[in-house]
Amino acid sequence: MKRYPKLFFCNMLFMFCFLSFPACSDTTKLVTKMNASLCSTPVEKPEWMDKTFKQVEAKLGSASSKETFNMKDGPITEFRGKLEVLFPRSNPESQSIQINEASWMEGECVLTLWFRKMKDNWVVVDTLYWHKDSDF
């Protein structure tokens, strides 16, 4: 103890933490819960707006899921509801718009980006960061 006072102090602190606060011995659970709470409320990620699919893939790698549909025939539900605001059904031009929906997993959270074909690029028009167990 005389030779390693700092080590002794750290050990004592560690033991105190374990005995006094169960959360200290359950770090994984704590971190998982924090990650879950980060995306339990779905939020938009504006920093991805206007990025091309190639730019996104360069940063995030390959998407874990992809689906292409058009606004005329594709399913429009709560999850994709923002697309209908951007491209209203009442606007005839909306009907021909192609959308590419791609998602990337990040632990318990999912980043979904919606791309619209513009000239030769797919460009992000909507974003959502959400918990993988979300029901919409």
Partner 1 sequence: MGHVVKRLPWCDIDLDTTLGHIFLQQKWNYSWLRAAGQSAWTAAEKTSFHNRTDSYIWSAWSNRATLGVVGGSSFSRRHVASGVSINLDIRRVTAHEHWNVNVTKIAAGAFARSNVVWNTRIINLDTNDFVTRVNCAGAPRVCRNQIPVAHEFGHAAGNTVVLGRGDEYPAASAHTNDHASMMNVGSQLRDRHFQTILDELNTMIPDTTFSVRSIR
CA-CA distance, 39 to 8, in Å (whole number)?
40
Point out which residues pair with 130 in neighbouring strands: 110
| Stretch in the footprint of partner 1 (CB under 8 A) among 20-28, 47-55, 58-66, 77-85 | 77-85
Q: Which of 47, 73, 93, 120 binds partner 1 (CB under 8 A)?
A: 73
Tokens representing 75? 């399913």
Stretch that binds partner 1, among 14-22, 53-61, 80-88, 115-123 (CB under 8 A): 80-88
The contact pattern for partner 1, residues 109-128, with x = CB under 8 A and - = no contact, is -------------------x
Q: Which value, to the nearest 10 degrees, does the dihedral of the CA atoms of residues 67, 70, 75, 81 take?
A: 100
